[in-house]
C-alpha cells in the first residue's frame, strides 16, 4: 500500500519574521465571564428565599409583596428558573 505524502511544516525561522508566530485571537474565549456564576447562584438563592419567605409569612404579614398575593410564588419560581436557564450556557 502506498504511503501518503507528508506535509512540510513551516518554521518561524524560514519565514524570516516574528509576526508569523500564531497568536490566539481575542474573540475565541473559553469558559464563562467572571460574573456568570455569582449571578446564577444569586438568582437561584434569591428565588428560593422569596418562596420561603412567602410561605413562612403567608398567614401573617403577606411578605414579600402583599399587593400581588399568590403571584409571589411566580416571581420566586421565575427567578429560580432564570438561574437554571442560565446554567444551560455554562461552559
Query: Quick one: cell of 81?
Result: 428558573
Residue 45 domain flag: yes
**74 is in which domain, residue-wise?**
41-91
Question: How does pLDDT run along the chain (91 residues), one tens digit per residue?
Answer: 788 888 887 766 655 555 555 555 566 668 889 999 999 999 999 999 999 999 998 767 667 888 888 899 999 999 999 999 999 988 8
Residue 13 domain flag: no
Q: How many C-beta atoms lie closer than 10 Å to residue 47's C-beta?
A: 20
Residue 72 domain flag: yes
Q: From CA 54, how far away is CA 61, in angstroms rounded? A: 9
Residue 51 in contact with residue 77, Cβ under 8 Å?
yes
Residue 62 domain flag: yes
pTM of the model: 0.62
Residue 4 domain flag: no
pLDDT the model gives residue 20: 55
Residue 31 domain flag: no
| Count of structural domains within the chain | 1
Residue 51 domain flag: yes
Q: How many C-beta atoms lie closer than 10 Å to residue 40's C-beta?
A: 19
Amino acid at each position: 500500500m502506498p504511503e501518503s505524502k507528508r506535509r512540510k511544516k513551516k518554521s518561524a525561522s524560514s519565514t524570516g519574521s516574528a509576526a508569523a508566530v500564531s497568536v490566539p485571537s481575542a474573540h475565541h474565549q473559553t469558559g464563562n465571564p467572571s460574573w456568570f456564576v455569582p449571578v446564577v447562584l444569586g438568582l437561584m438563592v434569591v428565588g428560593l428565599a422569596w418562596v420561603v419567605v412567602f410561605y413562612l409569612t403567608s398567614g401573617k404579614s403577606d411578605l414579600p409583596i402583599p399587593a400581588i398575593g399568590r403571584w409571589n410564588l411566580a416571581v420566586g419560581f421565575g427567578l429560580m428558573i432564570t438561574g437554571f436557564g442560565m446554567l444551560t450556557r455554562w461552559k
